[in-house]
């Protein structure tokens, strides 16, 4: 969990993924489309990946990846991110966290 | 017919029939002896009559056996019908094919098609109610109740699709549950919200500046989400192809068998993620409809829902025309 928090606070937009996860790929593309450059951490490449995955599940992230943090705050997985994007909240969150400017 | 000779004294099981006949002939001969009017009946006739009686007796026995078979089949049939009824009530659709593995997939697909048809019928009923209310200039309160009902009913098809995708994701993806013309526009097992909004914008006037801007933003967001999901699907296809291609090549060494199995397992895992994509696509459709309703007034939402329905009705009508077209 500490490792998650540590990484999540390092950049305005942070996404935890797995290299084989295609849904993670979708979410990354969405962020790029919005002009954000999120920090991407692949759990299957992290030393404590398993622990981190359990920690994310503990946060209520289901499925555990992709797990999105904006401004250090846990936003959710795919469903949450897409829902927030549809009503315009995602963009606003990214602006507020200075991940993007417009 | 075995030659019946009263003088034959060998008697086996197979000769029971002959014994019978002889018995009957002897009986007849006794009858002849006691009844004077039959004294001109000779052995041949007697034998013939005896054979007839025997044949008739056998025929009655066969008929009895046949009827018994029918009775037990009828009982079995009733039993099966009861089981089927019970299974249907429990929501398990039992296919009539004998192939078990086929019917599992068939279960999901067929059951969903039936549910979808039922949903569509109910949807059309609600839309007609909405149309009636709009045309008769019903008040906002009444309109809102009907509109909320239509939107809640949309929620139920997304839920049904979700369950069906768990059972048979490829059926949902195929769009075979939709009409041909609708299938033209199929995207991840359903319609594209962004396209729908593009169609609606012209039918929603008058819109305030704020509303117009919000609808445009919604259309753009929807499009971005659709593109993101599409790219994820492409990545999935790519990944699947690479996994399967990886197991190609000269299969000389035994190590390749384990390799093959491993790669199949990986491919299976990838196929499993398809359901997630359908779910996200449906979630996007649902969220877009909800947010559109949030942006618009009740009356505008009502007109939007009617316009959406008109559009899909036309697509379905087009499908019918297409299917019924005369062919050379």
Q: Min CA distance, A5 vs chain B (Å)? A: 27
Helix pair angle (B193-201, B298-323), 10° resolution: 110
User: SS in 3 state form for chain B?
Assistant: CCCCCCCCCCCCHHHHHHHHHHHHHHHHHHHHHHCHHHCCCCHHHHHHHHHHHHHHHHHHHHHHHHHHHHHHHHHHHHHHHHHHHHHHHCCCCCCCCCCHHHHHHHHHHHHHHHHHHHHHHHHHHHHHHHHHHHHCCCCHHHHHHHHHHHHHHHHHHHHHHHHHHHHCHHHHHHCCCCCHHHHHCCECCECCHHHHHHHHHCCCCCCCHHHHHHHHHHHHHHHHHHHHHHHHHHHHHHHHHHHHHHCCCCCCCCHHHHHHHHHHHHHHHHHHCHHHHHHHHHHHHHHHHHHHHHHCCHHHHHHHHHHHHHHHHHHHHHHHHHHCCCCC
Give the mean pLDDT of B40-67.
88
Which residues on chain A are in Cβ contact (under 8 Å) with B235? 22, 25-26
pLDDT at A10: 95
The partner residue sitting opposite A86, judged by closest CB among B221, B229, B276, is B221
A contact residues 31-60, partner B, Cβ 8 Å cutoff: 33-34
pLDDT tens, residue by residue, B147-198: 999 999 999 999 999 999 999 999 999 999 999 999 999 999 999 999 999 9
pLDDT at B40: 58
pLDDT at B80: 83
pLDDT at residue A62 greater than cutoff 60: yes
Contacts 24+ apart (CB under 8 A), A47-54: A48/A3, A51/A3, A52/A1, A52/A3, A52/A4, A52/A16
Beta-carbon contacts below 8 Å between A and B: 69
Give the mean pLDDT of B257-279.
91
Give the mean pLDDT of A5-34.
96
Band of residue B53 on the pLDDT scale cut at 50, 70, 90: very high
Is B228–A23 a contact, with Cβ atoms under 8 angstroms apart?
no
Band of residue B30 on the pLDDT scale cut at 50, 70, 90: low
Residue B186 CB neighbours (<10 A): 14
Cβ atoms of B282 and B169 within 8 Å: the answer is no
Task: Tell which wins on pLDDT, B44 or A45.
Answer: A45
pLDDT at B101: 42
Band of residue B72 on the pLDDT scale cut at 50, 70, 90: confident
Q: Is B223 on the interface with A (CB under 8 A)?
A: no
pLDDT at B206: 87
Q: Best-predicted range by mean pLDDT among B25-29, B39-43, B215-219?
A: B215-219
Q: What is the ipTM of this complex?
A: 0.96
Cβ atoms of B186 and B233 within 8 Å: the answer is no
The partner residue sitting opposite B228, judged by closest CB among A26, A79, A87, is A26
Q: How many CA atoms lie within 13 A of B318 on its CB side?
A: 12
Task: Tell which wins on pLDDT, B258 or A30.
Answer: A30
Quick one: closest CA in A to B279, which residue? A79
Is B283–A27 a contact, with Cβ atoms under 8 angstroms apart?
no
Q: What is the pTM of this model?
A: 0.74
Is A22–B224 a contact, with Cβ atoms under 8 angstroms apart?
no
Separation CA B233–CA A26 (nearest Å): 8
């Amino acid at each position: 969990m500490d490792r998650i928090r540590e990484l999540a606070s390092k950049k305005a937009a942070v996404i935890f993924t797995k290299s084989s996860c295609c849904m993670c790929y979708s979410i990354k593309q969405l962020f790029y489309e919005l002009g954000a450059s999120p920090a991407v951490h692949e759990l299957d490449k992290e030393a404590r990946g398993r622990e981190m995955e359990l920690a994310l599940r503990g946060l209520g992230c289901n499925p555990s990846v992709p797990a999105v943090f904006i401004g250090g705050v846990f936003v959710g997985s795919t469903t949450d991110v897409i829902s927030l994007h549809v009503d315009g909240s995602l963009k606003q969150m990214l602006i507020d966290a200075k991940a993007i400017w417009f | 017919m075995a030659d019946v000779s009263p003088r034959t004294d060998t008697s086996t099981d197979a000769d029971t029939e002959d014994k019978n006949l002889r018995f009957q002939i002897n009986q007849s001969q006794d009858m002849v002896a006691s009844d004077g009017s039959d004294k001109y009946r000779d052995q041949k006739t007697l034998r013939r009559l005896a054979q007839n009686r025997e044949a008739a007796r056998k025929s009655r026995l066969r008929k009895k056996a046949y009827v018994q078979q029918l009775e037990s089949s009828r009982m079995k049939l009733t039993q099966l019908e009861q089981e089927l009824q019970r299974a249907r009530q429990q929501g398990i659709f039992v296919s009539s094919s004998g192939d078990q593995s086929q019917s599992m997939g068939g279960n999901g697909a067929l059951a969903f098609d039936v549910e979808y048809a039922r949903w569509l019928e109910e949807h059309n009923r609600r839309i007609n109610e909405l149309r009636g209310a709009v045309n008769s200039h019903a008040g906002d309160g009444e309109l809102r109740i009907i509109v909320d009902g239509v939107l809640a009913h949309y929620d139920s098809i997304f839920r049904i699709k979700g369950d069906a995708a768990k059972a048979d994701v490829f059926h949902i993806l195929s769009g075979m549950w939709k009409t041909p013309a609708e299938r033209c526009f199929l995207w991840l097992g359903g319609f594209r919200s962004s396209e729908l909004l593009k169609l609606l914008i012209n039918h929603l006037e008058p819109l305030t500046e704020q509303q117009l801007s919000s609808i445009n933003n919604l259309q753009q967001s929807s499009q971005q989400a659709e593109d993101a999901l599409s790219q994820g699907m492409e990545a999935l296809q790519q990944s699947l192809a690479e996994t399967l291609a990886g197991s190609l090549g000269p299969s000389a060494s035994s190590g390749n068998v384990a390799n093959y199995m491993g790669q199949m397992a990986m491919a299976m895992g990838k196929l499993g993620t398809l359901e997630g994509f359908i779910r996200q696509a449906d979630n996007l459709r649902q969220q877009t409809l909800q947010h559109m309703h949030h942006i618009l007034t009740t009356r505008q939402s009502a007109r939007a829902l009617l316009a959406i329905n008109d559009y899909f009705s036309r697509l379905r009508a087009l499908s019918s025309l297409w299917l019924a077209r005369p062919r050379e």
